[in-house]
Structure 1
Amino acid sequence: MDILLRQLYQDQASKERTCAILVLKKDDSSFLSTDGFDAIILLISDGVTDWVSKHYEASGKRIAFHTMSQDMMHHSLITGNQRRLIDWLVNGKIVYDRNEFMQEVKQRIDTFPPGDRTKKLTIQFAKLLRRFEEGKVLFSRGYILDGFSNLFHALHHLARIAVIKDGFYPEVTVWEQVKKIEPEIHKLYQEALNSEEPLNKRIELLILALEVAIISKLELGANHFLDVLRSIDGEVSVSELLSIQEVQEYRIDLELILNVLIEKEFVTIVKKETPAKAIFQTKYKINDFL
């Protein structure tokens, strides 16, 4: 098997733009993380702009060869939209490493620097708010199962916040992590899933629990965005906020975070006159006590 895999990646090791190559065999990890393949080869290269995948078969073994850029890898680590990538990076065997590039990545995952952690918390908090609001509205309009599905996803994001807060990357088995880190959230998950209460009643209880959690996690979850607001001198428009590079990973939900911060008096609305009578442009400013 090792000889077969080497034939696929060995020519990439000599290329100048290759940063690292990792190999993950099905026996070394879960079936889920290898997507059913017998082996995964992950190539990090500065010579690509997209995530490229190729599939091979040799001696009855199926192999997936993934290529991505440094930027894409770091973006995925922050946003958490490719959780299997964490497993590949943590458990994959390094077969080529230019200037210890991958060793530094693994160390960054292990130490989970505060800057990465703060941004990742806000990304997950934004997703929590989005799922919660959509679930609540769907439930109120009689779409019971759709409402429950969204609220259950909100609970998953709450679980990931608990894991990140404790200094770990959320893994595929996030509920096993949460069981040890914050058992109250795990209990809420079990009750939502297994309670003998009617579904309507479970949803009502879940909404109440999530509302309390959102309030209690607000400053922690929104801290990255609050830091952005603190760095701005004076008031700022929403279009200016949306153009800031630091918020791009949660840009789609930024207005939702902003409205919650206004509601909880973390942020103040500043009205600016416009040429139209009785119509004001609204700008925003973080409150002084923060």
Structure 2
Amino acid sequence: MEDILRPVYQERASNPETQGVLLIEKHSPESPSTDTFDFILLVIIKSQDKPPVFIKHYAYEHKKAALHVVTEEKLNEWRLLGTNRKIIDWIYNGRIVFDRNDYLASLKREMEEFPFYGRKIKKGIEFAKLIRRYMDGKELFDQGNMLDAYNHIVHALHHLARLEVIEKGYHPEVTVWNQVKQIGPDIYKLYEELVYSEESVEQRLELLFLVSDFLIHTRTESGSGHIMEIIGERGDEYWSYDELYSHKELVYYGEDLRILIEYLIDRGCIEVVLKETKGAKLFHRYYKIHKEI
């Protein structure tokens, strides 16, 4: 079918906006990485005035293929937020069939090297998600909602696992637990205890909360490094929440930013600054690095 698809990607390659084209082939009958399609054509374009994602499906005899046209901006967002992990797998394992000015070769090399600054942002985002899931799970547990708490804690462990993989200098893949089994056995064992233990859900969660508090605490400095660096840019000056929320890098934290800030206040990393308003005993709330940090 590759010969049949060649005119499709050659037409895309002739467009000056096309940066590169990757061909991904299914290697097992029910491959999740290609959504059961036999072939995926991933086309990366630099245009920002078109839809960020365009998808078209093809069929030839008993086979099927999908064309994914993605803008650079959308690709970078996926890489940063980790919201489309299949794209990482496609870039790693896809075969380059067109590459303008070594764009894809450079992209693959950058992903393998995983620059430190990119890791710092991704760690911050994962740490914020971890805190959100963990605290929501703890609250549900205290309310007696065990299965809902269990669901949140499974997700929290997943973010902890991804954080560990990033910390070691790798991109989290679709099979993140296979990665963690090799490089973070303590987290992997905790996951096994939660999922496979024969104890009651309540007993499993009690154990996990006990251990997770320590694991999260030991990763606070690394996980919060990005936001602390940004807040610290102003020295003794303070930030409003809106300034932080709309910051060009912190905007990726979304609604998890609020609970991360509260967590860091509780840990004595961030200091709250109160400023009077026109209302009696009502204060504006601002934030800065704690003076003892």
- CA shift, 1:142, in A, is 2.3
Please identify, of 84-93 and 131-140, the stretch whose mean Cα deviation from structure 2 is larger: 131-140
Distance in 1 (alpha carbons) for counterparts of 2:280 and 2:40 = 63
Deviations 1:210-245 (A, max 9, x none): 222221111111111111111124011111111211
Name the structure 2 match of 1:281. 284
Q: Write the distance in 1 (CA, Å) between the matches of 2:153 and 2:224.
A: 20
- In structure 2, give the amino acid aligned to 1:242: Y
Q: How does 1:107-126 map to 2 (within 5 A)?
A: 107-126=109-128
Looking at structure 1, the residues matched to 29 and 15 of structure 2 have their Cα atoms a distance apart, in angstroms, of 28
Task: For residues 57-112 of structure 1, give each alpha carbon's deviation from its aligned partner in whole angstroms, at most 9, with x where no partner exists.
Answer: 01211101111100111111111110110000000001111111111110110000
The percentage of counterpart residues that share the same residue type is 39
Amino acid at match of 1:171: E
Which 5+ residue runs of structure 1 have no aligned equivalent? none
Contact 1:52 1:68 in 2 (8 A): yes
Instruction: Find the residue that maps to 1:265 and give its secondary structure.
Output: coil
Range that drifts further, 244-253 or 205-214: 205-214
What is the CA-CA distance between 1:12 and the residue it aligns to?
Answer: 0.7
Instruction: Please give the secondary structure, in 2, of the residue aligned with 1:65.
Output: strand
- Give the CA deviation at 1:28: 8.3
Paired letter, 2:117:
G
More off after superposition, 204-213 vs 64-73: 204-213
* Pick aligned residue for 1:88 from 79, 87, 90: 90
TM-score normalized by the length of structure 2: 0.96
- 1:255-289 deviations in Å (ceiling 9; x for gaps): 11111111010111111011111111111110234
How big is the shift at 1:29? 11
CA contact (8 A) 1:29 1:91 kept: no
**Equivalence for 2:46:** 46
Aligned-partner Cα distance in 2 for 1:168–1:69: 24
Q: 1:28–1:94: structure 2 CA closer, same or farther, 3 Å change rule?
A: farther
Instruction: Report deviation, 1:2.
Output: 1.6
Which of 159, 177, 180 is the aligned partner of 1:178? Answer: 180
Structure 2: tracts of 5 or more residues without a match: none
Q: TM-score, normalised by structure 1?
A: 0.97
Contact 1:89 1:106 in 2 (8 A): yes
Corresponding pairs, count: 290
Contact kept in structure 1, 2:29 and 2:36, CA below 8 Å: no
